[in-house]
Amino acid sequence: MISDWPAGSPLFGGHPVMQWALALTAGVILFFAMTAALQLIRSRLQRRAAASEHPLAQATADVLRRTNRAVLLILSILIGAEIMRAPLPWSSQNAQHLWFVLVALQLALWLDRAVDVGLDHAFASRGRVSTVTATLFRFLLRAIVSIVALLAMLDNLGVNITALVASLGIGGVAVALAVQTILSDLFASISIGLDKPFEAGDFIVFGQVAGSIEHVGLKTTRIRSLGGEQIVCSNTELLKQTIQNYKRMQQRRIIFTVRITYMTGVDRAASVPGIIRAQIERQSDTRYDRAHLARFGDNALEYEAVYYVMTADYNRYMDIQQEINFGIMRELEAAGIALALPERIVHLHPSRRREDATA
């Protein structure tokens, strides 16, 4: 080891100052050489990423950019001292600790940057991700990297981390029990951000609540209802519900009924499905499905029609349905077919008639 080498090496005439001068010179040269090598590697990786759009090459270049020059310089000097056999002012065990701390620190910096790059790539592939979820996930993973690196350094320096880890574990359990409701909502927020059942601006319906999502927070989600008031719902309770997201509806299936009187002749009644179909196909953003005489109602012939509106806009759907209804009314009127009116037939018993006449 370096510290075991005699202070006055005959190689340099017994002058440690000369040895350290040469060690520093070698260290500086090695530092610039490693810096230039890292720069060359990053440049080649970036050119490869630009040429082939390879995400791994770009990610590796971004990670290498996190190399700390101070750590690299100290490591270069230590390597130079090892090469020139310059005596160190501390024991060999302390030198080993210094080596480990420097290497662990640089690895932690690379892993920290790798977490950022990996999360950015993951979030970009998933599309739009909540800022709260992205920030929280980034903080948790970076905290884990920092804690693991710190514990490894302390363990290498001789600190008994077993009791420390046990204490942190017991304290963590106690804190988790005390704030389990908050943690439940917090993890529900992460689930919403990753799974994205809804986003800000979506119109959702669950239970008796219908409204647009305004904000998804760490603990609660805020919804603007149709009545205008703001509804604040716990993230955990919200995920327990069956949620209908109308903004993501690509098309709307419509079923409606037309009722005509029994006084209509068979030929005229057979023409009604064609009238309905023609009115549906006249409208833009619609796709006709079917129209049939579905049933003989109590006091009317009932036709059932089905079509699709190729947009999720509710106002557009209502405009289309209104135009279809007006068109059907015009065509039925022109064909001499009357729409059935609601009616009720009351049969009077003969004894009831006599009683009414007497009264």
Q: Does residue 327 lie within any of the structural domains?
A: yes
**H-helix segments, the chain:** 16-52, 55-64, 69-84, 92-125, 131-156, 161-178, 180-195, 235-239, 266-282, 314-334, 350-358
Identify any residues that bridge with 220 across adjacent strands, giving them in sequence order: 234
Place of tokens 């739009």: 128
Count of CB atoms within 10 A of residue 260's CB? 20
> Please, what is the angle between helix 131-156 and helix 180-195, to 10°?
120
**How many other CB atoms are found less than 10 A from the CB of residue 328?**
22
pLDDT of residue 1: 41
Burial state string for 60-77 with b = 16 or more CB within 10 A and e = fewer than 16:
bbbbeebbeeeebbbbbb
Judge contact between 219 and 182, C-beta under 8 A: yes
Confidence of residue 121 (pLDDT cuts 50, 70, 90): confident
Q: What is the pLDDT of residue 3?
A: 44
Q: Does 134 map to a domain? A: no
- The domain tally of the chain equals 3
Q: Are residues 223 and 314 in the same domain?
A: no
Is 329 found in the same domain as 285? yes
Read off the pLDDT of residues 76-96 as tens digits, 9 standing for 90 and up. Answer: 888 887 777 777 666 666 777
Q: How confident is the model at residue 98 (pLDDT cuts 50, 70, 90)?
A: confident
Which domain CATH number covers 263?
3.30.70.100
Domain assignment present for 170: no
Is the confidence at residue 6, as pLDDT, over 50? Answer: no
Phi, psi torsion values for 205, nearest 5 degrees: -135, 130
143 and 45 share a domain?
Answer: yes
Convert the pLDDT of each residue in 49-71 to its tens digit.
Answer: 777 666 677 778 888 888 888 88
Residue-wise DSSP of 62-110: HHHTT--HHHHHHHHHHHHHHHHTPPPSS-HHHHHHHHHHHHHHHHHHH
- Out of 245, 263, 289, pick the residue that ends a domain: 245
pLDDT of residue 291: 95
Residues 260 and 234 occupy one common structural domain: no
DSSP secondary structure letters along 19-31: HHHHHHHHHHHHH
CA distances for 153 relative to 69, 99, 112, 169, angstroms: 20, 10, 16, 19
Give the pLDDT confidence of 241-293 residue by residue, as tens digits: 888 888 888 888 999 999 999 999 999 999 999 999 999 999 999 999 999 99
Residue 179 maps to a domain: no
| Paired tokens of 284 | 């833009």
What's the first-to-final CA gap in the chain, in angstroms?
Answer: 127
Together in a domain, 221 and 92? no
* 163's tokens: 């009791």
The whole-number pLDDT of residue 356 equals 57
Q: Domain end: 204, 225, 245, which one?
A: 245
324 shares its domain with 262: yes
Total residue length of the chain: 359
pLDDT at 239: 86
What's the whole-number mean pLDDT along residues 111-134?
Answer: 74
Least confident of 65-69, 105-109, 133-137: 133-137
Look at residue 117 and give its three-state secondary structure: helix
Same domain, 202 and 276: no
Looking at the fold, whether 240 and 266 belong to one and the same domain comes out as no
CATH number of the domain residue 229 falls in: 2.30.30.60
Is 35 among the domain residues?
A: yes
Q: End of a domain among 199, 223, 245?
A: 245
* Domain extent for 257: 252-334
pLDDT recorded at residue 237 = 85
Residues 152 and 75 in one domain: yes
Q: Are strands 244-245 and 203-206 parallel, antiparallel or unpaired?
A: antiparallel
- Asked if residue 344 is part of any domain, the answer here is no
What's the CA gap between 230 and 249, in Å, rounded? 24
Whether residues 29 and 116 fall in one domain = yes
Cβ count near 216 (within 10 Å): 23
In a domain, 84, yes or no: yes
pLDDT at position 127: 62
Within this chain, do residues 152 and 47 fall inside the same structural domain, yes or no?
yes
Put simply, whether the predicted model's pTM sits higher than 0.85 gets the answer no
In a domain, 146, yes or no: yes
Instruction: Tell me, yes or no, whether 52 and 114 share the same domain.
Output: yes
